[in-house]
Structure 1
């Protein structure tokens, strides 16, 4: 039997995750790094306006310590707690990471190019509605071991309307597409990374594309009906804590936003993101209002909404969890 797995590790208790894809046909595990921010403060406009820093030490001091070296780095937005110059520059782009590619959300690509150190040929930028295919490195042919490893498909999703804060409330859809025997269709492992939350209206087309995927091995008790199949989302990486500003409205949709996704898709796993209790300072700090959910409250409130079978987790720096596909 083919062993395919995904390992997710939190590097900073916030939104920096290393996703490691393993398959017998791959010459080495394939690593995708999300929103690397390990140190230094992150400010908006000016430190006196809004400034935040980690209160939990990351599990590594530099992304150059990651092993294996990331194959792909994704920056989901241009804010410095997602697109952090100091952290990104520590990767040995001309040495060990010479083949690493950086995928940047709209706006973030201009920030990266503005640093004037990054090779533009290594930069890929997302465009709304355009799926980007990431090929795995090819190794030796292994025709007797379960077939090819497949590929990744990435899609950037954002709301259309200004009042929905499109610069914050976006998401990256990640599909691991694994070809199967003729007539069986492709196996898909789906991941939705939305560090601030995103309106379901902006996610619905991508979620609908998951309806035809075969059941994920070992999933929970909820069954899909043949008459109206519900999209199956393998992993949701989304905040628990809801944050709004008296100045700018909803900053992070938290549990209510994740609940909306769970109502529109069968979610196997929900992992917390952006929920570190950071040191927040500046003029806007006193204008923030928080509503907190922990793992137990998320589980309880999901059950009260009639939603079962979702495995809920919150990873702290250095914690990791593995998912076996088969």
Structure 2
């Protein structure tokens, strides 16, 4: 089983490809049971907030593709995490045909904006509910059919976890999990398939347990159910305290820890309070999440150089952090070396990083 993270614009437009265990490494996303998610596509034109005098942003790195029609195939899901134009970019999304069959999931304000364009069929555009611990209706679920009639279904879930009292309205996380559909060959009759039983709920010691500190999640040495790939996407960052209820309940119950990948900014971006204050939490916030969830990989998001102009960016301050600095932050205070083995990755336009989950 594998997750491939591909950057389309070296910033925060990603294509995530989830592959089941049987999928060959040579053709990600094309095997039965594979699933693709396109995140916040921005490939052409500027990003303008209100008007060019207020905020005008252009990419300085050429995207790997200039048109969403150039993707290998139509994505299964399009995820829009904000209503700001560098995440919810109309010109780019309109590259998809009106009869596109990709499901579009967006936070409520972005879903409202996308519907107002009247470009996509409304039944394919869905607003993500706010996550509430213990409320199964606050998690959007997509069932993946099995490759054979006697197999078991897989599942993709998407969860929106916003911060409270967020003046800038950019600090939230999107939680994603992928459990592949399964088919198992019978040992008694290799030409016939058998059904797998439904995964039981986790016992108190499996697969993860909450340690005495309420802020720490500790891996259990036992795991009695199949692995689930998990991703946290938070390009502007969010406090770990916001994510913790989701991690300590849902991710634990789904056997989805350690976290497979964290997509989070390295750089810290600050505006005056009256312009939103902190815009990007940077490596400090990401380090807290990566350490507590034992992330296998941390991929830089929203850190690309851009040509930013306008009144709104004149007072913006950016503290950049290189890969080595981020690694040092992850190693500080770690007692057991194996818990600091998070891969720290920056992806150029068109580059990808593949994570194998055993």
Please report the TM-score for the alignment, with normalisation by the length of structure 2: 0.78
Q: Secondary structure at the match of 2:260?
A: strand
Length, aligned pairs only = 299
Rg comparison, structure with higher value: 2
1:171 to 168, 173, 197: 173
- Report if aligned partners of 1:207, 1:233 keep a CA contact under 8 Å in 2: no
Contact 1:29/1:68 (CA < 8 Å) preserved in 2?
A: no
Q: By how many angstroms is 1:149 displaced?
A: 6.1
Q: CA deviation at 1:212?
A: 5.0
CA RMSD for the aligned pairs?
2.1
Aligned to 1:211, which of 252, 263, 267? 252
- Distance in 2 between the 1:270 and 1:110 partners? 31
Shift of 1:316: 0.8
**Structure 1 segment 93-172 matched on structure 2, within 5 A:** 93-94=98-99, 97=100, 99-129=101-131, 130-136=138-144, 138=145, 140-141=147-148, 148=152, 150-163=154-167, 165=168, 167-172=169-174
Structure 1 runs of 4+ with >6 Å offset: none
Name the residue aligned to 1:248.
Answer: 276
> Mind listing any 5+ residue stretches in structure 2 that lack a counterpart?
24-30, 132-137, 183-195, 201-223
Give SS of 2:164's match.
coil
- 2: CA distance, partners of 1:160 / 1:59: 36
Q: What's 2:83 paired with? A: 78
Return 5+ residue gaps in structure 1 as ranges. 217-230
Match of 1:273 in 2: 301
* SS of aligned partner of 1:191: strand
State how far apart, in whole Å, the 2-side matches of 1:191 and 1:47 are: 34
Q: Which residue of 1 aligns with 2:210?
A: none
- Of structures 1 and 2, the one with the larger relative CO (CA 8 A, separation 6+) is 1
Counterpart secondary structure, 2:5: strand
TM-score by length of 1: 0.85
Q: Contact 2:54 / 2:310 at 8 angstroms: preserved in 1? A: yes
Matching residue within 47, 56, 64 for 2:61: 56
- What is the SS of the residue equivalent to 2:295? strand
Q: Which whole-Å CA distance do the structure 1 matches of 2:33 and 2:157 have between them?
A: 19
Partner in structure 2 of residue 189 of structure 1: 229
Residues 1:289 and 2:317 aligned together: yes
